[in-house]
Amino acid sequence: MNTAPTKIAVLVSGGGTNLQALIDAEKKGIITSGKIELVISNKPGAYALTRAENAGIRTAVINNKEYATREAFEAEVKSVLKENGIELIILAGFMCILTESFTSCYPKRIINVHPSLIPSFCGEGFYGLKVHEAALSYGVKVTGATVHFVNEIPDGGQIILQRAVYIEPQDTPEILQKRVMQEAEWNILPEAAELVSKEIKEKGEEYEHIQG
């Protein structure tokens, strides 16, 4: 078994609250089998980059708007991941849908957190407040969050962990979003990061070299 921590890259686009949950979990010893080595943002100036810098984590900005094609953008992301020896990719509020040509290079090496109980309110078009608006509009009594492996289907990969959150009568999309983050996302994303990092370590040479 490989004794070194699994090298993790976190891909972000915004404020980085889920990234902060991962950083805090590493400090608290919740994540021990992996180590966040790199944070990549597709948006210059994203506050998530400041969070990473404050924690002493290397950062990279790869602005998708500066590339003529999605393939060129993803090729640069893959190049940076390879340069840093990354073994596990965590999408934490990353607002770019990755193509099959990217995801197929990293089978069971990319995880994402989604703010609903998949298969409800997920897939293309369901992100951010839109998820919580849909849950409230539909009238469900329980929602939550899901961490899943990423494949070519948006929110379509194998589920790793889920946690339920009850909807309260006074909930607005904004209130519900905050509670789902606090009670579900910020807990199960670090837990899943540890589970998958540990599995990568234990599988040794089979997972020794990331593709791409």
Residue in 158, 161, 110, 154 with CA at minimum distance from that of residue 130: 154
The tally of domains found in the chain comes to 1
User: pTM of this prediction?
Assistant: 0.92
What was the pLDDT predicted at 151? 92
Any idea what the CATH number is for the domain that residue 49 is in?
A: 3.40.50.170
1 falls within a domain: no
Q: Give the pair of three-digit tokens for residue 210.
A: 């990331």
209 belongs to the catalytic site = no
Active-site residue, selected from the candidate residues 114, 132, 148, 209 = 114
Give mean pLDDT in consecutive 10-residue pieces for the chain, a chain of 212 residues.
Answer: 88 96 97 98 96 97 95 97 97 92 95 96 91 97 97 92 97 97 97 97 59 42
211 falls within a domain: no
The distance in angstroms from the start CA to the end CA of the chain is 23
Q: Amino acid identity, residue 150? A: V
Q: Which domain holds residue 76?
A: 6-205
What was the pLDDT predicted at 2? 66
